[in-house]
């Protein structure tokens, strides 16, 4: 059978659901680019390699790179405690153990989605510091250094470190630490800086125009300033592939030494969601025994994904302007790994339920989600997930089978499970949810 081509995959795109898409594949030192569709259904212009897209949480790779660039300059170390670096912030006791590495590897212990609903609306230069000053108010699932849990607030704290150590607003510091060394000349945070460029505007699922206020932290465009470290970059395809290709090659011509770039790619702990482990800024999974670095990003009706295979010195970046983008991006992810590189993503291996599996029964909560483990029977568990949104609103039931690595999996989704100080938790979409009877505002 002839392998699927990228043209075949792009040809299957539902243009009504995903109005615009930009794709780049980097290999053998060169980037190939494909651009298709329009920037907006309201005012259609062709998507080009220089069209700006919101990267959403792919921005965390940029923030982590900026922090590690400060390590390269000798201004801090990954083992440094965060408290002395931000002495005006009350961390509620966490300053005794919270390190820089914990922030970048999602192990700060916070229910970090709290920040999405509590970021100040102001675009004043003090907005990030104002958000971080409320660290004591952020709900916790564990002390620092606990299990990995996707943490938007932790990345805001990392951004505050960048501001404190450089003495500059976050966006200016990132420009000198990351964008300029990588030649990312079409990457911005401000709407004021984007308005004179061609911009892909986000669309709701199905390609509908995005309603103002549909994501409370957004103010339509762009992300609120206090949230820039976790999801604020607006960049072109050409720039995004520069970021991805830097980590694909680890050459000594960027913001980090090859050793520090490789340090960001080392697994820091088992995770769920986008990978099976986390690095610094990156999620990590394996395909045919090779590590694959990845990060996705969703923001105001846009969806992006960056994928890096260091062992092949290859990378892929996909940018879309639709909340329906994941389906197209998933097709391209499969094409890139399976058909283009000949790699097979590792699949979970089924396993017998652990002794005492009934202990998983109960209700688990996080900031916007309730998970009920309703039944455990035979080789599987029955689970109900209720999302209050706004990103994943809905109510779904799953039948999940037990798998190696303390996982519950199906064709549609997966969870992980564990316990901290004998308190059970489940991890869904990368976030820790603590069994309700044990949940508390601060651990």
pLDDT for res 253: 86
Range 372-380, long-range pairs (CB < 8 A, 24+ positions): 373/426, 379/350, 379/352, 379/353, 380/408
What CA–CA distance (Å, rounded) separates 65 from 149? 20
pLDDT for res 223: 87
- Domain positions in the chain are 6-57+185-340, 63-166, 357-438
Query: Catalytic residue at 324?
Result: no
CB 341 within 8 A of CB 333: no
Q: What is the largest CA-CA distance in the chain?
A: 63
pLDDT digits (tens, 9 = 90+) for 324-343: 999 999 999 999 999 999 99
Residues present in the chain in total: 443
Same fold across 6-57+185-340 and 357-438? no
pLDDT for res 98: 98
How many CA atoms lie less than 13 Å away from 182 in the CB half-sphere?
A: 28
Architecture of domain 357-438 in this structure = Beta Barrel (2.40)
pLDDT for res 220: 63
Low-confidence ranges of the chain (pLDDT < 70): 1-3, 211-220, 390-393, 438-443
pLDDT for res 4: 78
pLDDT for res 442: 43
Within 8 A by CB and 6+ apart from 36, the residues are 10, 13, 20, 21, 22, 47
What dotted CATH number matches 6-57+185-340?
3.40.710.10
What CA–CA distance (Å, rounded) separates 401 from 351? 8
Name residue 319's beta-bridge partners.
22, 304
Catalytic residue among 57, 142, 271, 314: 57
| CA 267 distance to own-chain centroid | 16
Which DSSP state fits 3? P
DSSP assignment string, 161-212:
HHHHHHSS-HHHHHIIIIIHHHT-TTEES-HHHHTTS-BPPPB-GGGPBPPT
């Amino acid at each position: 059978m002839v392998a699927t081509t990228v043209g075949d995959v792009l040809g299957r795109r539902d243009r009504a659901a995903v109005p615009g898409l930009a794709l780049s594949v980097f290999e053998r030192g060169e980037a190939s680019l494909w651009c298709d569709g329009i920037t907006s259904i309201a005012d259609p212009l062709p998507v080009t390699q220089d069209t700006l897209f919101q990267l959403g949480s792919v921005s965390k790779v940029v923030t982590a790179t900026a922090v590690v660039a400060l390590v390269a300059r000798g201004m801090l170390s990954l083992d440094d405690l965060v408290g002395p670096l931000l002495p005006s912030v009350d961390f509620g006791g966490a300053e005794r153990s919270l390190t820089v590495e914990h922030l970048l590897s999602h192990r700060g212990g916070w229910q970090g989605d709290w920040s999405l609903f509590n970021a100040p609306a102001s675009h004043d230069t003090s907005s990030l510091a104002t958000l971080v000053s409320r660290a004591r108010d952020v709900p916790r699932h564990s002390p620092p250094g606990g299990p990995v849990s996707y943490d938007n607030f932790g990345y805001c704290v990392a951004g505050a470190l960048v501001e404190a150590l450089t003495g500059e607003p976050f966006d200016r510091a990132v420009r000198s630490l990351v964008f300029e060394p990588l030649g990312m000349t079409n990457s911005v945070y401000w709407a004021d800086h984007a308005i004179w460029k061609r911009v892909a505007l986000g669309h709701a699922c199905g390609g509908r125009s995005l309603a103002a206020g549909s994501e409370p932290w957004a103010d339509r465009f762009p992300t609120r300033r206090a949230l820039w470290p976790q999801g604020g970059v607006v960049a072109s395809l050409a720039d995004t592939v520069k970021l991805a290709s830097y980590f694909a090659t680890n050459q000594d011509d960027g913001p980090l030494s090859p050793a520090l770039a490789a340090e960001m790619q080392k697994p820091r702990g088992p995770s769920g969601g986008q990978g099976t482990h986390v690095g610094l800024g990156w999620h990590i999974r394996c395909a045919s025994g090779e590590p694959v670095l990845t990060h996705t990003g969703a923001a105001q009706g846009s969806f992006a994904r960056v994928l890096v295979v260091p062992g092949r010195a290859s990378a892929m970046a996909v940018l879309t302007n639709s909340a329906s983008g994941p389906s197209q991006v998933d097709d391209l992810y499969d094409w890139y790994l399976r058909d283009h590189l000949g790699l097979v993503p590792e699949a979970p291996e089924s396993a017998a339920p652990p002794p005492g599996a009934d202990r998983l029964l109960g209700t688990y909560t996080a900031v916007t989600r309730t998970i009920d483990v309703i039944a455990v029977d035979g080789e599987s568990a029955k689970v109900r997930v209720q999302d209050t949104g706004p990103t994943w609103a809905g109510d779904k039931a799953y039948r999940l089978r037990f798998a190696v690595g303390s996982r519950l999996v199906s064709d549609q989704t997966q969870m992980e499970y564990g316990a901290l100080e004998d308190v059970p938790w489940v991890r869904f979409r990368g976030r820790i949810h603590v069994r309700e009877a044990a949940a508390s505002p601060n651990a």
